[in-house]
Amino acid sequence: MNADFTRADRIRGLDVSEIVQISEQAAALRAAGRDVVSLSTGEPDFPTPDHVIEAAHQAALQGQTRYTANSGTPALRAAIAAQAGVTADKVIVSTGAKQVIANAMLATLNPGDEVVMPAPFWTSYADIVRMAGGRPVVVPCPMETGFKLSPDALQAAITPRTRWLLLNSPSNPSGAVYSSAELRALAGVLASQPQVWVLSDEIYRHLSFVPFTPVTKAAPDLRDRTLTVDGVSKAYAMTGWRIGWGIGPNALIGAMGTVQGQVTSGASSVSQAAALAALTCDQSLLTTRREAWQARRDRVVAALNAMPGIDCPAPDGAFYVFPRITAAMAATGHPTDADFCRWLLHDHGVALVPGRAFGLPGHLRLSFAYSDADLTRGLSRLAAALETR
């Protein structure tokens, strides 16, 4: 029998994500008076646009303060559906993209069902799958492959128990963006595997520095078994508003609604009004911000590649870099990326996340969703740590 009444088997071995743990350690060091620069979190430093805040304010004043329909307000679902070229019944609005992914896994996985995820992957994927009773099947996609899944590697990972392939383009943490041809090649493998569905997490699609293709466009034959995940958190700097959505076949969206109806009900009414304003107002900020992200990316990649033992490819999207650090680990006497990041945090006051948190050790993730001043301080601490070893 499970001796710990507060931990069911389904959450045994799960903990808060390593990203959150590092941010908390950084905060604790700061509270103890230490000067720590954090480059560990994926949260835009830009403010939420004023017109979005104003729309939320007006919605609250006008009485949009009650429960909304479980799957989202008709207006927001319609706006999302119109952008995606589908009908609104194929859309569910949830409390962040994270809840969309959790809903999908809870709705569909039976114990032991397998979910293929190319590594590096966003930390929460594996734990959400485990929590839902599934088994993450991690396929390492090293730097030499551009951090991308090949058709052969996908083929080799599929078994009769495979239910999902989780794709994330642009990727957190690698920034890899799948081209249309690459997506078609993966779809070719899935053509003969009708039991495998695709969860395409496109939350960074507006932050792509190369042409971006949604899975449903590259592979229309997969449309009947693809769940597209998106939200306002990253593109519109709205992480705290907690609005994400899923777009997929009616039966799946319905099943996800069943889960959501028992966990949270509809997402926050005021936040949905804010998300509607973000989606329907002038979109030029997306271009301005993408240019700003790209300038930061160039600066960060150049700075990292000038440091000994760091090999940093330029990401094609999102706001992270995922350099290989094995030479720096060896030179500084740190056997693992986690030791290396702990040393950087405690001895040099800079918080970064080890690659192992994303299923690909020997790397670290640096988020450049921080002010130029923080980036300057963080990068110079890292350079100093590596030069004074």
Ligand X SMILES: Cc1ncc(COP(=O)(O)O)c(C=O)c1O
Give min distance, CB of 260 to ligand X, in A.
14
What does the chain come to in residues? 389
Give min distance, CB of 263 to ligand X, in A.
14
The binding track of 354-383 with respect to ligand X, each residue x by CB under 6 A or -, is: ------------------------------
Q: Which residue is nearest to ligand X (CB)?
A: 96
Measured in degrees and rounded to the nearest 5, phi and psi for residue 330 equal -65, -45
Site for ligand X contains 201 (CB under 6 A): yes
Residue closer to ligand X (CB basis): 117 or 307: 117
Residue closer to ligand X (CB basis): 229 or 379: 229
Residue closer to ligand X (CB basis): 166 or 222: 166
Q: Which of 231, 246, 323, 359 binds ligand X (CB under 6 A)?
A: 231
Contact set for ligand X, span 234-253 (CB under 6 A): 239, 244
Stretch that binds ligand X, among 91-99, 129-137, 217-225, 286-294 (CB under 6 A): 91-99
Contact set for ligand X, span 120-179 (CB under 6 A): 122, 168, 172
Residue closer to ligand X (CB basis): 80 or 329: 80
Dihedral, CA of residue 149, residue 141, residue 37 and residue 209, to nearest 10? -40
Q: Which of 39, 109, 203, 350 binds ligand X (CB under 6 A)?
A: 203
Q: Which residues of 235-270 are buried (b: 16+ CB within 10 A; e: fewer)?
A: bbbbbebbbbbbbbbeebbebbbebbeeeeebbbbb
Residue closer to ligand X (CB basis): 40 or 216: 40
Q: Which of 40, 42, 93, 348 binds ligand X (CB under 6 A)?
A: 42
Residue closer to ligand X (CB basis): 130 or 334: 130
Give min distance, CB of 177 to ligand X, in A.
13
Q: How far is CA 152 from CA 34, 143, 157, 193, in A?
A: 49, 17, 9, 14
The whole-angstrom separation of Cα 138 and Cα 158 is: 11
CA angle 316, 318, 323 (to 5 degrees): 70
Asked whether the beta carbons of 233 and 86 are under 8 A apart, the reply is no
Residue closer to ligand X (CB basis): 108 or 123: 123
The whole-angstrom separation of Cα 334 and Cα 329 is: 5
Residues in a beta bridge with 115: 136, 164
Give min distance, CB of 79 to ligand X, in A.
17
Asked whether the beta carbons of 94 and 246 are under 8 A apart, the reply is yes
Number of residues that bind ligand X (CB under 6 A): 13
Stretch that binds ligand X, among 29-37, 96-104, 132-140, 287-295 (CB under 6 A): 96-104
Q: Of 320, 322, 324, which is closest to residue 311 (Cα–Cα)? A: 324
- Token pair 């949830």 is found at 94
Give min distance, CB of 359 to ligand X, in A.
13
Q: Which of 96, 175, 354, 355 binds ligand X (CB under 6 A)?
A: 96
Give min distance, CB of 20 to ligand X, in A.
11
Contacts of 170 (CB under 8 A, 6+ apart): 176, 177, 204, 205, 207, 208, 212, 315, 316, 317, 318
Residue closer to ligand X (CB basis): 103 or 269: 103
Residue closer to ligand X (CB basis): 286 or 383: 286
Give min distance, CB of 202 to ligand X, in A.
9
Residue closer to ligand X (CB basis): 216 or 239: 239
How do strand 320-321 and strand 226-231 relate by DSSP bridges? unpaired
Residues that bind ligand X (CB under 6 A): 42, 96-98, 122, 168, 172, 201, 203, 231, 233, 239, 244
